[in-house]
Amino acid sequence: MPKLSAVSWRRLAKVFEAAGWRCARIEGDHMVFTKPRAVRPVVIPRYSEVPVFIIKNNLRIANISRDDYLNLLGK
Domain ranges (residues) in the chain: 9-73
Q: How confident is the model at residue 1 (pLDDT cuts 50, 70, 90)?
A: confident
Confidence check: pLDDT of 71 > 90: yes
Could you tell me the fold of the domain covering 9-73? Answer: Metal Transport, Frataxin; Chain A (3.30.920)
Task: Centre a 10 Å sphere on the Cβ of residue 25 and count the other Cβ atoms it contains.
Answer: 10
Strand order in the sheet with 30-34: 22-27, 30-34, 42-45
Over residues 5-42, the pLDDT tens digits come to 999 999 999 999 999 999 999 999 999 999 999 999 99
Q: How much is the pTM? A: 0.91
